[in-house]
Structure 1
Amino acid sequence: MNTHQFQVPDLSCGHCVAAVTRALQALHPMVQVQADPATKAVQVQAPAALSAEQLAATLREAGYPPA
Structure 2
Amino acid sequence: MTSTDYAVRGMTCGHCATAVTEEVAKIPGVTGVQVDVATGRVTVETDQPVSADAVAAAVDEAGYEVVAA
Q: TM-score, normalised by structure 2?
A: 0.82
Count of residues paired in the alignment: 67
Structure 1 runs, 4 residues or longer, greater than 4 Å off = none
Q: Give 5+ residue unaligned stretches, structure 1.
A: none
Q: TM-score, normalised by structure 1?
A: 0.84
CA RMSD of aligned residues (A): 1.6
- Given that residues 8 and 64 in structure 1 are in contact (C-alpha distance below 8 angstroms), is that contact kept between their aligned partners in structure 2? yes
Percentage of pairs with the same residue: 36
C-alpha distance in 2, partners of 1:65/1:47? 24
Superposed counterparts of 1:35-50, under 5 Å: 35-50=35-50
Q: Give 5+ residue unaligned stretches, structure 2.
A: none
Superposed counterparts of 1:13-28, under 5 Å: 13-28=13-28
Cα distance change, pair 42–29 in 1 and its aligned pair in 2 (3 A): same
Superposed counterparts of 1:44-63, under 5 Å: 44-63=44-63
The structure with the largest strand share of the pair is 2
